[in-house]
Amino acid sequence: MKTVDLSIVIPIYNEAAGLQALFARLYPALDKLASDLNIHYELIMIDDGSRDNSPSILREQFNQRPDVTRIILLAVNAGQHMAIKAGFERTRGSIVVTLDADLQNPPEEIYKLLAKMREGYDYVGGYRRERNDTAFRKYASRILNRIRERTTRIHMRDQGCMLRSYSRPIVDAINHSNEVNLYIPALAFIYARRPTDVEVEHEERAAGESKYPLSKLIRLNFDLMTGFSLMPLQFFSMLGMATAGISTAAFIFLAIRRMLYGADADGVFTLFSFTFMLLGVVLFGMGLLGEYIGRIYQQVQSRPRYLINAVLEQLD
Ligand code: UDP
Ligand code: MG
């Protein structure tokens, strides 16, 4: 079997509009990298059940460069991280690099990750020097990075940046993780001996639009939070204890007051608003419990998380 030093893994979901632009920059960048460093690479592209004609474009591209290209076509949309895992399971390189298909991660930046790997780091995450996304996405991700930093033991600069490089042992460990709700950059951190971050450029999406509507983005971040921290649940126990304490004190106070001054119906609305606020908190807590339980449920069902339609690769 041909030895492969570097595997590039790219998940693709409805990216037909931009794939040619991607190939036009990706292949020259990788060929140059391979000749500069004297290494062999493979490019694994996973179609995540696209409904546009990404699969046929990928088939065609496979025929153009069967020497380095491997294509996995998933039957149905499994989600970005599950698609990446489908790719990881078939990588052969001693180093694996992920990036997005929309050219937001410039392929010319891969050498920066490899340089760090050579210094002895086994997990190199990119962080975006200047992020080219909507203001909402930028601020939200800044806040979410901060929350993750405080509530989990995962430390990295930019959890949303998918331009990352993983050593073989880390990829193997991820492949052996059977979790249903995956967040690959965070999972990799758990297995990393020497992780680091490196600054990378970030461009505007070359074509098409983001594949993450708000609802999907929220799901993904719940995957991250519930997958790596129990803090959200513990926060509710703390809140519960504090509320119980305060209400007990309030009850004692009101009981004494009633004995001294008799019944009193003033301030009913304050009481109502306070009750509703508490109700909101309780509902949110229950929802949060649901998030964990739902994930436990899916894990227990242990259904196959993705379904392969076809694999295109050259036999060697
Ligand atoms: N993607 C995927 N499956 C999905 C959603 C996204 O494979 O269900 C891919 C998508 O094609 C792209 C990458 O994941 O290569 C990142 O998606 P996107 O650029 O839309 O995310 P954003 O940059 O808006 O966070
Ligand atoms: Mg993008």
Round the average pLDDT of the chain to a whole number and report it: 93
Residue pair 48/79 in contact (Cβ under 8 Å)? The answer is yes
CA of 99 to the centre of ligand 1 (A): 10
* Token pair for 143: 């806040």
Looking at residue 69, its pLDDT comes to 97
What are the residue ranges spanned by the domains of the chain? 6-228+305-312, 231-301
Pocket test for ligand 1, best of 9, 97, 100 (most atoms within 8 A of CB): 100
Total-model pTM? 0.90
Residue pair 96/152 in contact (Cβ under 8 Å)? The answer is no
Say yes or no to pLDDT of 309 above 80.
yes
Task: Compute the average pLDDT of residues 293-304.
Answer: 88
Rounded to 5 degrees, what are φ and ψ at 51?
-105, -5
Pocket test for ligand 1, best of 9, 13, 46 (most atoms within 8 A of CB): 13
Could you tell me if the CB of 80 is within 6 A of ligand 1? yes
CATH classification for the domain delimited by 6-228+305-312, as one of 3.30.43.10, 3.30.450.20, 3.90.550.10, 3.30.530.20:
3.90.550.10
Looking at residue 1, its pLDDT comes to 62
CA of 297 to the centre of ligand 2 (A): 30
**Who wins on pLDDT, 74 or 283?**
74
Could you tell me if the CB of 15 is within 6 A of ligand 1? yes
CA of 12 to the centre of ligand 1 (A): 7
Confidence of residue 21 (pLDDT cuts 50, 70, 90): very high
Could you tell me if the CB of 212 is within 6 A of ligand 1? yes
**Cα dist from 223 to 9, 151, 216, whole Å:** 21, 14, 11
Say yes or no to pLDDT of 125 above 80.
yes
Could you tell me if the CB of 122 is within 6 A of ligand 1? no
Looking at residue 45, its pLDDT comes to 98
Q: What is the pLDDT of residues 149-200, one digit of tens each?
A: 999 999 999 999 999 999 999 999 999 998 888 999 999 999 999 999 999 9
Residue pair 70/90 in contact (Cβ under 8 Å)? The answer is yes
Task: Compute the average pLDDT of residues 115-124.
Answer: 97
Looking at residue 6, its pLDDT comes to 98
